[in-house]
Structure 1
Amino acid sequence: MKKFITHIIFATAFIGSLQQFSAQKVVVNREVETQKDGKMLLGVQTKDQFTKVPYADWYTKEHDEYALDQKAISELKKRKINSYNLIVFMGTWCEDSHRDFPRLMKILEEVKYPEDKMTIIAVNRKKESPSGEEATYNIQKVPTIIVQKYGKEIGRIIEMPTTGYVERDLVEILNKDDQSVIKEIFK
């Protein structure tokens, strides 16, 4: 009987700790005010945050004026970019993020990329986020766009696309992934 009661107490404590662990919530759309940079987003964000003042000033202009490379867009659709996950680290204080983040969003809208497959994490000038995700992904510069498949990183764009176009760099990453699959098959 003592053993049975001990097991019940242990199970109850274990279940209680699991519930407490799962109850931890990620704060989304955190905004802070700094003396140097004014308002700044920090941590996990939704796309909608960037259409609000003061971020809309740079976001909307770059988003609306960017001319997409339609050939690269067709390749992204053909290569099924929607089957990949994206993790985007950016800074609302960063000029490179002001340029490439809205462009990325326009590209993803064009290919009808599902928003739930993308995580946007805003960092401060030290490239830190409130939950420390930047350490997990070794973020040194922003923006950094990480492309994952089945939880494994297959490529990233760091600070600026090497081709000059985010969509072309994404195509190159997806092409490398296709080639690595072919190499695995014919080993």
Structure 2
Amino acid sequence: MKKIVTNIMAISALFLASQQLTAQKVVVGREVETTNDGKMLLGMQLKSKFTEAPYSDWYVKEHDEYALDQKAVSELKKDKINSYNLVVFIGTWCEDSHRDFPRLMRILEEVNYPEGKLKIIAVNRKKESPNGEEGLYNVHKVPTIIVQKYGKEIGRIIEMPTTGYIERDLVEILKKDDGSVIKEIFSK
């Protein structure tokens, strides 16, 4: 009996120690001042941060003026984009991010995408984030939009949509999802 209690205590201690080691404080909304680029966002961000100056200078105009491809938006709803997770890497210094990130947000608003399934990570000019997520996701260019289901990548849009429209590229990614992720999970 004493051995069982000792083992339980040891396992509990190891579990708590591992929790302590893996628990990182994630700073959301980090902003830095740079010599060449002025204010820059780094790391995890909330959508609301982009409606504040100086980011609102480029975000609001592109967001509000973007004409959605309604057919593609309907397809996204039909293909249940809300059941997927999105990880988006952007640079607040990057012109491609200035164009495509606000457009993506407009699309996601149109399909009522849950903010809890969206992860926005801002990187510096070296494409680095404070917690190194760019390495985990193998990101070398921004913007990069990664579509995931059950923690597995289904597809990504890198730098610019190949069709010219983010919503059309997202439809193409969702069409390729044949459920093989589920098959892969259950075949193990």
Q: Same fold (TM over 0.5)?
A: yes
Letter in 2 for 1:137: Y
Q: Cα offset for 1:116?
A: 0.3
CA distance in 1, matches of 2:25, 2:71: 41
* CA displacement 1:107-140 (0-9 Å, x = unmatched): 0000000000010000000000000000011111
Letter in 2 for 1:156: R
Change (3 A) 1:150 1:9: closer
Q: Cα offset for 1:9?
A: 6.8
Indicate the residue corresponding to 2:131 in structure 1. Answer: 131
CA distance in 1, matches of 2:124, 2:59: 18
CA distance in 1, matches of 2:140, 2:176: 23
Indicate the residue corresponding to 2:61 in structure 1. Answer: 61
Change (3 A) 1:84 1:5: closer
* CA displacement 1:143-185 (0-9 Å, x = unmatched): 000000111101000000000000000000001113868x99x
Change (3 A) 1:76 1:18: same
Q: Cα offset for 1:57?
A: 0.4
Greater CA drift, 7-16 or 119-128:
7-16
* CA displacement 1:69-113 (0-9 Å, x = unmatched): 000000000000000000000000000000000000000000000
Indicate the residue corresponding to 2:84 in structure 1. Answer: 84
Indicate the residue corresponding to 2:161 in structure 1. Answer: 161
CA distance in 2, matches of 1:43, 1:6: 42
Indicate the residue corresponding to 1:95 in structure 2. Answer: 95
CA distance in 1, matches of 2:76, 2:129: 30
User: Alignment RMSD, CA only?
Assistant: 2.4
Q: How many residues align?
A: 183
Indicate the residue corresponding to 2:146 in structure 1. Answer: 146
Q: TM-score, normalised by structure 2?
A: 0.89
Alignment identity in percent? 77
Q: Equivalent residue of 1:178, what SS? A: coil
CA distance in 1, matches of 2:38, 2:154: 36
Q: Cα offset for 1:24?
A: 2.7
CA distance in 1, matches of 2:80, 2:3: 56
Matched, 1:30 2:30: yes
Unaligned ranges ≥5, structure 2: none
Change (3 A) 1:53 1:173: same
Indicate the residue corresponding to 2:172 in structure 1. Answer: 172
CA distance in 2, matches of 1:180, 1:75: 20
